[in-house]
Structure 1
Amino acid sequence: MSNKKGNYPFNLIRDIFGDKADDNTHTQAVYLKGLYDHIQRLDSYQQEYIALRYEKKFTRKECAEHMDLNIEQARQLEAKTLRHLRNPRNAIHYYAAPLRDFNIITEKYDRLRSEHDLLNTEYEKLKAVLHDVASGKIKPSDITTTFDAIQTSNMIHSDPTAIKIQELDLSTRSYNSLKRKGINTLGDLTQLSEEELLSINGIGRYCLDEIKTLFQNYDLEFNRRD
C-alpha cells in the first residue's frame, strides 16, 4: 500500500488536482457530498478502482491484480477516472471557491450593497424634495446642491436624531464602521463622545470630521462625559 496522501477522500482530492501530501488548497474547498454524489455517477469499474485505490489504499499493482487487469490497464483506468473528475464541467458540482476568496467576494458584496442602499435612500429623498418643491414647502431658490436638498427635506420632515445613517452623506468606510457597531441613527451618534467614536474600529480623524460637519448641520453635538 503506497498511497501516502492522507485518508479518503482527501487522498483522492489531492490526486484529482495534483496536490502534494501536505497541500490543503483543494481539500478545504471541496463540497464532499457533491463529490460523493458525482462518484456514484461513474461506471462500476471506476467506482471499484476508487474504492480500492483510495479507500483501501491499495497500490496500483494490487488494484490491477484484484480487478484482473495488467498494470498498464490499471494506470490508464486511474488516469481516465481522475481526468473525468478534474474536468471543470464535472468539478463544478463539488468544487467551491477557497474560504479566502469567498471572504473577499463577501466583503465586495457588502460594500456594493451598502453603496446601493445609500444611493437608493438618496433617490427616495430627492423624490420627497421634488414633492416639497411642487407643494411649495421648499423654494427652489433655497436649494443649491443635492445635499442641501436632502438636508432641507430632513429638517422639515423629521427629528434629526431619528435620521438613519444611510440617509446621510457619509463615506462608505464611515457607514460600514458605524453599522458594524450597531449605530443606526444620528441619535445613536449623539450618545457617544468624540473619544468613544474614535475608538470604533475603522473610524479615524477623517470620519470624525465628517460627523462633526453633520452635527453642525443639524445643530447636534457629541455627548460630553462628566
Structure 2
Amino acid sequence: MAGRKNTNKEKIEKAKKELETLSAILGEILDDAMTQTEAARKLGITPQEFRHETIGNFTNYVKKKNILTEDDILTYLKDMETPLDRIAKDMFNITDKNKLLIIEIDDPDDFIYVMKETLTEKQFYVMSLRYGFDEEPMTYQKIGERIGTQKEWVRQIINKSLRKLRHPSCSRRLFPNYPKYTKALQTYKTTERIYLTMENEYINASTECKRMLHNIELAKTTPELKEQFEKLFYLEDIPEIPDEWIASFHDLHITSVYDYLSADENKIKEMQDICPGFSVTEMEKILDIKPPITRKEFVCCMRFPLTETEISTRTFNALRRSGINTLGQLTQLTESDLKKVRNLGPKCCEEIKELLEKYNLQLLEK
C-alpha cells in the first residue's frame, strides 16, 4: 500500500510540474513575451493544434501527454479514504470498488463512540481489524487467524455489524445528513434500474430485429436455393425409379426432380400414355411427397388423443399434468412453450416434434 501511495504522489508531482510549465508559457503569451508559434514549438505541437487547444482548455494536450489520467485521480483519492469512509461505503451497499463515497462526518470520535454503543465488543474489534482503525485493513482469513475462528464466521460478524449500523436509528446518529444520502441513493438506484431495464429492452429488440432480417433474407434466397438443390438430384440417380420410366422422362425432357415437380398435368398424362406402367402414386412414394390432407382428415388429427399414440409414458404424463391431451392442443404451443412444461426435457421435446411430423402437423411458430 505504501509503495502505491508513493507512486501516486510521484504522478501528482509530475502532473503539477507539467501544468506549471503550461501555465508559465500561457503567461508569457499574455505578457507578449512569446508568440503562439513559439509556444506551440516549446510544447511540441503545431500552431494549428495550439489554436485548437486554447479553444478546448488544453484538455487534449493533457490527455495526450498523460499528465494525469482519471484512473490516477481515482486511485489517489481512494488512498485518501479513511476507515470510516470505507465503512460508510459498505453500509450504503456501494460495492463497486471503482466508486467513491464522499460523506460528511462531523466528529470521527463520535462516530466511533456510536459504533461501540451499537455493536458488541467482539463485533467492534472485528470491524476495527477489517477496516484498519489502528493498522492496515486485514482480510477475513487474517482476522480469523487472529481471533481463532474460520473466515466464514468473520464474514458473518462483519455482515451482522453492518446491518446493525445500517438501521435508520443508528445511521441517523452516525451521519448528520443521513436523509440526504438515502434519498440520493434511492434516486440513483431507481435510475440505474430504469437504465438496466431499457438496456435489456434494447438488446431484446435488437435481437428480434436481427432475427427478422435474417428470416427476410432467408425468404428471399430460399426459392433459388431450393431450385438449385432439387436440380442436383437427377431421376436416373434414384435407384427406386424403373429404367423404362427414366427413358420416358428423358423423351419428355424431364431429367431432374425439379423438372418432375414443375411439370404440369398435361406432361404427367403424356407420361402415362407413353409409359403405361407409370404410377403417380408410386412416384410420390419414391420421392417422399406427402399427399395433401383433407379437411376431415385434418379435424380427426387435431382431435386425436395422445393416449392412442406411441408417445412415451414420461412425456405423456408431463403433458397430461399440463392439461394437454390431444395432437391439436400440441399444435397451439411454440417450442418455447413446450420447454416451460414441467418435467419435459430436450429428448421429450424432440419426441413430440417427431410425433407431430408423423401426422403432418407441427408446433406453432413464433
TM-score computed with the length of structure 2 as normaliser: 0.24
TM-score computed with the length of structure 1 as normaliser: 0.38
Return the structure number with greater relative CO, CA threshold 8 A, min gap 6.
1
Larger Rg: 2
Q: Please identify which structure carries the higher helix content.
A: 2
